[in-house]
Amino acid sequence: ISGARADHETPRPAVIAHRGASALAPENTLLAVDRAHRLGFTWVENDVQRTKDGVLVVLHDAGLARTTNVEQVFPGRAPWRVRDFTSAEIARLDAGSWFGRRFRGARVPTLRQYLARVDRNRQSLLLEIKNPAFYPGIAPQVLAELRRSGWLDRAHLKRLVIQSFDAPTVRTVHRLRPAVRTAVLGAPSVARLREYARFADQINPRHLGLTVGYVAAVQRLRGPHGRPVEVCAWTVDRPVDTLIAATYGVDCLITNRPDVVRRALSVF
Ligand code: G3P
Ligand code: CA
């Protein structure tokens, strides 16, 4: 993620604020994006899913209960799945109070609102298509929304990576929009890396269990855009893990605590 290297950031690895600066503000809300921005972080990660009426919203869990007050607002609607609620219903929910009283009133953003805020902040986006099996056709829908918001314009492409745990979804994104950079989440076997490198610019594994050999095996390959495939490790929140991953030579660190990781990298 060369675009991550703004002057105020440690050159390598790049730091990506996971679900926004999600240890400091409620995850996947505009507050978390703004918090990352105020701390000087260019890249934010988010998760996108779809409501019952087909609107793309930014939320991590398949259900609304952990990060909103849905149980109070809609007590009879268990298990409170995103896909069972309309966008108007979700817009009524408080997505901030669970994290702290001062965040009361934060909303679950639509992808459109989220893109507008990231763009306004001049930030860059690692966008995860979450649970695609629940949402047939979500990959082309996400691409259509990105196009509508100008994120697929040539000048903007360096500010975007689309990722998923579901490799076929990543392959679909690449097939539909070959210019967009993509990432497969997880750690495919070394034997399969070459196949993945045909459609993924990054392989993004959990940091636990990562080895220097695996990082090197990924980075030896050329991705679909002719550059070495990158490794972005997640979710790295502790200084010790930051230093281990940096020593392994990862290209980026995805973290809930970008402030902590930046501080740790400053001594690296
Ligand atoms: O970007 C890496 C990370 O977000 C993947 O896991 O569950 O936090 O979406 P998860
Ligand atoms: Ca994610």
pLDDT of residue 69 exceeding 90:
yes
Ligand in closest contact with the CA of 16: 1
Ligand in closest contact with the CA of 203: 1
Give 12's pLDDT tier (boundaries 50, 70, 90): confident
**19-34: pLDDT as tens digits:** 999 999 999 999 999 9
Residue in the structure block whose two tokens are 């869990």: 61
pLDDT of residue 4 exceeding 80:
no
Distances (CA, A) of 239 to 45, 211, 253: 20, 18, 12
Residue type at 228 in one-letter notation: P
CA angle 11, 15, 19 (to 5 degrees): 165
Report the pLDDT value the prediction gives residue 1, as an integer from 0 to 100: 78
Cα of 229 vs centre of ligand 1, distance in Å, is 19
| ipTM associated with this complex | 0.98
Cα of 236 vs centre of ligand 2, distance in Å, is 13
Q: Which of 43, 45, 58, 252 to mutate to test the pocket of ligand 1 (most atoms within 8 A of CB)?
A: 45
Tell me, using a 6 A CB cutoff, whether residue 262 lines ligand 1. no
Name the token pair of 175. Answer: 């097939």
CATH pick for 2-62+109-265 out of 3.30.420.40, 3.20.20.190, 3.10.20.340, 2.60.40.10: 3.20.20.190
pLDDT of residue 200 exceeding 80:
yes
